[in-house]
Amino acid sequence: MTGATGSDLVLVDSSGWLEVLTGGSKAEKFHPFLSREDRLLVPAIVIYEVFKKLLSMGGTVADRFLSHAYRCRVAELDAGLATAGAMASLEHRLAMADAIIYATALVYSARLVTGDSAFKGLPGVTLI
């Protein structure tokens, strides 16, 4: 998959956002997934991770990120996602944030696009 097609919902994890926002070596590969705000799902935990990292680097890119993320479909972390995340963590041996991100993609039927090898081989994941 090279970009969202049809009415596909896409979740780009923190690694993808950071690649694009910091000009990383994989930025061009992630950019098409971030360009369609109407199809982009952003979990609250991704907002936390990316905003924290960008704030620590200084500059106004953190504010630009929030502006972009809030125009997308934001998935708030609730008890249902927390429970699904715990189950995903145990089933796939994922760290807490990764498990919540993966569970969010599953609950919303979104394709997870990531550069994080922790998701390698999981259904519904595009690894860049």
Residue 49, pLDDT above cutoff 60: yes
Mean pLDDT of 58-77: 93
Range of the domain at 67: 10-120
User: Residue 4 — very low, low, confident or very high, per pLDDT cuts 50/70/90?
Assistant: very low
For residue range 9-36, list pLDDT tens digits in order.
999 999 999 999 999 999 999 999 999 8
Q: How many folded domains does the chain comprise?
A: 1
Q: What is the CATH classification number for the domain harbouring 43?
A: 3.40.50.1010
Sequence-distant (≥ 6) Cβ neighbours of residue 71 within 8 angstroms: 37
User: Residue 5 — very low, low, confident or very high, per pLDDT cuts 50/70/90?
Assistant: very low
Identify which of 67, 63, 102 has the alpha carbon closest to the alpha carbon of residue 84.
102
The answer to whether position 34 is within a domain reads: yes
The answer to whether position 2 is within a domain reads: no
> How many angstroms separate the Cα of 63 from the Cα of each of 46, 67, 68, 69, 78?
15, 6, 9, 10, 25
Identify which of 73, 66, 70 has the alpha carbon closest to the alpha carbon of residue 107.
73
